Amino acid sequence: MSVDTSSHTKPFLKWAGGKNWLMPIIKKYTPSKFRKYYEPFLGSGSIFFALRPKPAVLSDLNQNIIQTYIALRDKPHALIAKLRSMTYNKDYYYFIRDVYKPRSLAHQAARIIYLNRTCWNGLYRENIEGKFNVPFGKFHNPCICDENNLLLASDLLQGADLYFQDFETTLSTAKKGDFIFLDPPYISSHRNNGFLKYNNKIFSWADQVRLVKIVRHLDKRGCYILMTNANHQSVMDLYSGFYFSFESRYSSIAADKAKREVISELIISNYLQKGYGSVSRRSL
């Protein structure tokens, strides 16, 4: 298959660590033709929506997010109708966050989208009990229901299989000629031993080691692999023999803009494409 770049569907979720800023670069690095697209760390799906690949296999370990995608794919009009009925004010926000119990998958998805669009900094965070706990965000007339974009996203998702499962399970079905985009949870500054607390789950160093073993197996199988990861020597050592490129941006998570530092991202692939900037290939 080839990538359809005729139009651009925006991610309908805000996501800390999302790759929307990397979209033009990722497009340059993407193989011109491939069989099937895999993305096992889906999040906001910014790369999926930018590339518009069909068919696609998408997964995440955040069950609420996967159920939201499924609802948008299968019940877009019911989801949109619920979103259109929701209002933006502090009391209503905390009612939806702490009291409201959705009775359908579409209404559950509307709750997730509403909270994501109206919470502080668009952050998705759960406490140890699995409850969403981000405070109310102060915006001027936030867009709670972008109906046109949601319908475009729903249409694109018709060509996607969606799963709540571990990345290893998702990647077990990838075959020669498939394109795999990987964006595992990490922090670029490598504080707290370099790994990001992903709600109440940890993507640990052991997970990184497990991932690289799978990546090397997929490389031998003939898959195209493109990954973003922390720009750190320990990660580069794991992926010795692959192509590396480096991209920088300002972090947008800190509340104080003065504390938003420049962070560097590592891009890893098992193939070389036109468009790479500073590239190195480690010896096997």
Q: What angle do CA 125, 228, 253 make, to 5 degrees?
A: 35
Q: If 0-12 CB within 10 Å is exposed, 13-18 middle and 19+ buried, where does residue 219 land?
A: middle
Contact 11, 20 (CB under 8 A): yes
Domain boundary among 151, 180, 206: 151
Name the one residue in this structure whose structure tokens are 């609420």.
64
Strand order in the sheet with 224-230: 160-164, 56-60, 37-39, 179-182, 224-230, 262-269, 243-250, 279-281
Of residues 243, 233, 240, the one with CA closest to residue 276: 243
The torsion angle over the Cα atoms of residues 155, 157, 160 and 164, rounded to 10 degrees, is -160
Domain boundary among 151, 175, 198: 151
What's the token pair of residue 41? 């760390």
Query: Do 276 and 142 sit in the same domain of this protein?
Result: no
Evaluate the CA torsion angle 11, 17, 23, 26 in order and state its sign: negative
- Tens of pLDDT, residue by residue over 80-95, are 999 999 999 999 999 9
Q: What is the pLDDT of residue 98?
A: 97
What does residue 33 show for φ and ψ, rounded to 5 degrees?
Answer: -140, 140
Q: How far apart are CA 49 and CA 9, in angstroms?
A: 5
Give CA 224 to chain center in angstroms.
Answer: 19
Evaluate the CA torsion angle 64, 67, 68, 69 in order and state its sign: positive
Q: What is the pLDDT of residue 190?
A: 44
DSSP secondary-structure letter at 126? B
Strand-pairing partners, residue 39, are 58
DSSP secondary-structure letter at 85? T
**Is 12 among the domain residues?**
no
What does residue 27 show for φ and ψ, rounded to 5 degrees?
Answer: -60, -40
Query: Do 195 and 75 sit in the same domain of this protein?
Result: no
**Is 122 among the domain residues?**
yes
Query: Do 127 and 178 sit in the same domain of this protein?
Result: no
> Residue type for 175, please?
K
Where in the sequence is the domain holding 252, given as residue range(s)? 20-61+167-281
User: What's this model's pTM, rounded to 2 decimal places?
Assistant: 0.86
Q: What is the pLDDT of residue 27?
A: 87
**Is 113 among the domain residues?**
yes
CATH number of the domain bearing residue 198: 3.40.50.150
Q: How many domains does the chain have?
A: 2
Query: Do 110 and 248 sit in the same domain of this protein?
Result: no
Query: Do 128 and 196 sit in the same domain of this protein?
Result: no
Q: How far apart are CA 68 and CA 155, in angstroms?
A: 14
State which residues of the chain have pLDDT below 50: 2-6, 189-200, 253, 277-278, 282-284
Query: Do 94 and 192 sit in the same domain of this protein?
Result: no
Q: What is the pLDDT of residue 284?
A: 30
Query: Do 52 and 180 sit in the same domain of this protein?
Result: yes
Q: What is the pLDDT of residue 282?
A: 46
Q: How far apart are CA 177 and CA 248, in angstroms?
A: 30
What's the token pair of residue 95? 């009612």
Q: Measured between alpha carbons, how far is residue 80 from residues 41, 97, 113, 151 in Å?
A: 25, 18, 10, 9
Query: Do 172 and 262 sit in the same domain of this protein?
Result: yes
Q: What is the pLDDT of residue 198?
A: 37
Q: What angle do CA 12, 15, 20 make, to 5 degrees?
A: 75
Query: E strand or H helix at 116, and its extent?
Result: helix 105-118
